[in-house]
A and B are shown apart, each in its own frame.
Chain A
Amino acid sequence: MNKTYDVIIIGAGPAGLAAAIEAKKTGAKDVLIIERNDEPGGILLQCIHNGFGSVLFKKDLPGPAYAYNFITEAKQLGIEMLFDTMVLDITASRKIYATNSHEGFLEFDAKAIVLAMGCRERTRGQIRIPGTRPAGVFTAGMVQRLVNIEGLMPGKNFVILGSGDIGMIMARRLTIEGAKVIKVVELMPYLTGLRRNYVQCLQDFNIQLSLSTTIKRIIGKNRVEAVETVKVDDCLNPVAGTEEMIDCDSILLSIGLIPENELSKKSGVQLDPLTGGPIVDENMATNVAGIFSAGNVVTIYDLVDYVSKAGFIAGKNAAMYAAGQTAVKKYVEVKAGDGIRTVIPQKISVERGLVPLSNEVLFEMRVTKEYPSKISVDLMDGVNVIASHKEKYARPAEMITMKVDWNDLTTKLSKDTAGLVVKIS
């Protein structure tokens, strides 16, 4: 099997499905999604809680229902999907090598590719939690899959490390399934997930949250028997004398997500060390011609609706690239300035050829710390403010989205610009 497609999308999660749909609607004839799972929907399938779709559908949907809308549309549009299939390699000339057990080793050529592999969870090893190495230390997303998809309960008494969204959602879920969630501990002095999840998942279920607290060590030979927690100071160092021993059989880690870019690197896509994802322009184009990327593979979003939106942009531009309709002649860089930790896009096209592209440019940012009162996010060209965006407050857990008109931006840009900076003032 060796086939050429207009657009091939890696991953049938929210970003990939949206990209496929928009690619097809934009005119790409042959569109293929390659998915490693046995069905489309990605991580949404295990997110059986509600909270999805408020932006795109003005509805409060559970994950599978949100996915279903896209899956149905993709099927109606005749988008091909290949399941249980793992992509092993992507080259800069857009050759894709993949494998599955029903068709064997596969080779494809794509006129354009959209990378939509999503992200993975940070693990115990990455934060080097001391102690023994028993069974019972799980990442939150893995437990979500075990409980919601496989129907298996991995423990009875849980301590959760990290106040990320999946951790809090799983605290509620495990409680409903009959487990006891003893406590959620968070290293930072603030909540790292969304406030609404704190209220709906912890407060409403009387689950205690301890900020500025971490796990000092894990105890237990075969299965977790206890954890020792400890308070940390402002520099995140343990404070002696604040240790607390908690008996439990399971530890759930919700300590962050990392864009999954092993394939991207193989194809020569350049990554941003801050986001961990590809450096993209406003069209979700990477530095490799014809390779686009969208969703959590680019930067970690908090709302799936924006992941889908990014997928639409990537899919549309991939289709246009496949049809030979686009060409960017010149870029300026976008950098994170004071108060901003990450920003996408990291570059903006300022001279475009051929067919005009969308004029709406979305900047998506995370701040470095909590800003309790009103702030202004400014897009600067040297000392000149190109665009400004107000927020009532800002938290690292909540992404800030700023819309800028492309014509307006390029008109205001100085001829000898040294690049754009977004900062908080």
Chain B
Amino acid sequence: MNNKFDFIIIGSGIVGSLVARELSRYECSVLVIEKEIDVGMCPSSANSAIIHAGYDPKPGTLKAKMNAEGNRLWHEFAPELGVQFKETGSYVVAVGPDELPAINLLYEQGVKNSIPGIAVIGREEMLKREPLINPMVSGALWSPSAAVIDPFGAVLAAAENAVVNGVKYLFETRFLGFIFNGTRITGITTSKGDFFCDWAINSAGLFSDEVAHKAGVKEGFQIIPRKGSYIIFDAAKFSINNVLFQVPSALGKGVLVSTTTHGNVMIGPDSQLSENKEDSSTTREGLLSIEAGAKKLVPSIDVRNSIVTYSGIRATGNGDKDFIIETAKEVQGLINLLGIDSPGFVSAPAIAKRAVELLKEAGVKLKDKETFNPIRKPFPHFHLMSHKEKAELINKNPAYGRIICRCEEVTEGEILDAIHSPIPARTYDSIKRRTWLGTGRCQGAFDYPRVIQILARELKIPETEVTKKGKGSELVFRRTKEIIA
């Protein structure tokens, strides 16, 4: 592979992948490096999955601007990229009379942030719109432009579209440092060798502080990782079709009760300091606290109907906690995208566009690529189809007739699509995130042995090299009846 690119993007989360896609609109060469085995393995796939309306950030901040702009852009990007996106709107729910003033303040802030359609609704209206809401409800802020998204699906779609439009991705490639010519960055060193570029874009999320420090910039900036846990419920047992926030506190937006694009109810997050940037463990106290928080909104929630719990880490910066989107001043050839925590996901399209503007402002000449195709067709999802569509799909390719995951009705055909896609799935979790396999009630108990076989066959590796999420997470370690040395 040629190791010289116009642009190198460090990190393939939602920001990095959308920057890659934005750059793929132009005649230029782009490399994305990612330390994990797949895109979006870190905060981008473990967050609240909400396209926030934008009333929450303080007026005048970058967060306020990017959120409002990002919300508008997602309404355009989601259909282009074939991402599951549900225009639910959202409610901030005041419980008891004491919380009502906060709703009015949020409303005023929303008006200042130019958020479309927001309105304060009364107790009766809220009870009508969500009968399961706490009967102590006193009013709510309704934001019609909020939506829910499939967060991993969105990262994948952006990355796939970037690849189809000429971007290169390198996985399991760890950033080690920059290569300089004087104060000009000319490349990066990685665990897979050196790569050269005119510009590097730091979208390393949780590690964006360390990357910036390697360039000798933003010395005072630090990511303080905070984790947030979630509980997902069995869709067959419990269903709510709204997005319900508590009145925010100093700690953040608080626990929410939300529908997902997949129809499951999700509750969370709490906010706890992580031991380190990779500590995404849940705790009993954390899970109990989100249960209590969710019950404040919907008292009938019964956690015995949970199907999975997990936690994600926020890439929160120190200082004023606003996004940092800037061209490095002390060195040349580096764009820093730092401290992208909530509302980072919704803001990502606007951040990506802003990064390209920064490049143009720095004098980079970008010429439109005539062949750029913004449309990314999603792979078929068997279980969402009608009987007739299913029959036609199986007629075309019998692999769609073999169900591998019984709860979510995922077929072998969909697994093969995932393995042979522009961003190939090479692990169990990668298949799971693309197809929803193993995300249902049985959490993969039925499909595991079958997926091990399929991955081994398709990747031409022994079963003992099939992993859950990359090296070190092997699922089986030998055949039975083997002589143990």
Contact = CB atoms under 8 A, between A and B. Distances in A.
B445 A141 contact: yes
A142 B472 contact: no
A153 B476 contact: yes
A135 B468 contact: yes
A101 B402 CA distance: 5
B284 A223 contact: no
Nearest to B303: A128
B480 interface: yes
A105 B401 contact: yes
Contact of B283 (A130, A138, A145, A219): A130
Q: Mostly helix, strand, loop or mixed at chain B's interface?
A: mixed
Nearest to B463: A152
A124 B445 CA distance: 11
B480 to A, nearest CB: 5
Nearest to B389: A105
A385 to B, nearest CB: 35
Interface string A83-119: 0101011000000010111111100000000000000
Given A130-B283, A139-B445, A151-B481, A223 B473 contact: yes
A154 B280 CA distance: 24
A262 B475 contact: no
B431 to A, nearest CB: 14
A225 to B, nearest CB: 10
A101 B399 contact: yes
Interface stretch (B106-114, B305-313, B361-369): B305-313
Interface in A118-154: 120-121, 123-126, 128, 130-135, 138-139, 141-142, 145-147, 149-154
Contacts of A134: 468, 473
B478 interface: yes
A130 B281 contact: yes
B304 A126 contact: yes
A258 B308 CA distance: 16
Contact of B401 (A99, A126, A135, A216): A99
Nearest to A84: B402
Interface in B384-399: 387, 390-391, 394-395, 398-399
A417 interface: no
Given A135-B468, A146-B449, A223-B473, A36 B403 contact: yes
A238 interface: yes
Contacts of B476: 146, 152-154
Contact of B472 (A88, A105, A223): A223
B412 interface: yes
A86 B477 contact: no
Give the one of B232, B394, B452, B467 with max A CB within 10 A: B394
Contacts of B306: 125-126, 128
Interface string B460-473: 00010001111111
Contact of B449 (A101, A145, A222): A145
Interface in B262-320: 278, 280-284, 286-287, 303-304, 306-310
B480 A217 contact: no
Contacts of B402: 84, 99-101
A151 B449 CA distance: 10
Contacts of B449: 142, 145-146, 149-150, 152
A265 interface: yes
Interface size grouping (class) on chain B: 35 or more
Nearest to A125: B308
B463 to A, nearest CB: 6
A125 B308 CA distance: 4
B379 interface: no
A262 B407 contact: yes
Interface residues of A, number: 54
A385 B424 CA distance: 67
A126 B238 CA distance: 14
Contact of A125 (B309, B412, B477): B309
A104 B395 contact: yes
Given A153-B476, A262-B236, A135 B469 contact: yes
Given A125-B309, A152-B480, A223-B474, A120 B390 contact: no
A155 B403 CA distance: 27
Interface in B379-428: 387, 390-391, 394-395, 398-403, 406-407, 409, 412, 428
Contacts of B478: 152-153
B284 A121 contact: no
For B403, B452, B484, which residue has the most chain A Cβ atoms within 10 angstroms?
B403
Given A123-B443, A135-B468, A97 B387 contact: yes
Contacts of A88: 390, 403, 409
B479 A151 contact: yes
A259 to B, nearest CB: 12
A86 B403 CA distance: 7
A330 interface: no
B446 interface: yes
Contacts of B375: none
Contacts of B394: 99, 101, 104-105
B273 to A, nearest CB: 16
B398 A104 contact: yes
A221 interface: yes
A36 B304 contact: no
A48 to B, nearest CB: 12
Contacts of B469: 135, 222
Contacts of A149: 449
Nearest to B234: A126
Contacts of B445: 120-121, 123, 139, 141-142
B448 interface: yes
Contact of A100 (B281, B387, B401): B401
A137 to B, nearest CB: 9
Given A99-B403, A130-B284, 17 more contacts: A36-B403, A99-B394, A105-B390, A105-B401, A120-B441, A124-B443, A125-B443, A128-B287, A130-B283, A130-B287, A146-B449, A222-B469, A222-B471, A222-B473, A262-B407, A262-B441, A265-B236
Interface of B: 231-232, 236, 278, 280-284, 286-287, 303-304, 306-310, 387, 390-391, 394-395, 398-403, 406-407, 409, 412, 428, 441-446, 448-449, 452-453, 463, 467-481, 484
Top 7 nearest A-B pairs by Cβ distance? A222-B472, A105-B391, A135-B468, A125-B308, A222-B473, A86-B403, A101-B401
27 contacts: A36-B406, A84-B402, A86-B406, A88-B403, A97-B387, A99-B390, A100-B401, A102-B398, A123-B308, A123-B441, A124-B308, A125-B307, A125-B443, A128-B282, A130-B283, A130-B284, A130-B286, A131-B282, A135-B469, A135-B473, A135-B474, A146-B476, A150-B449, A152-B476, A222-B470, A222-B473, A223-B472
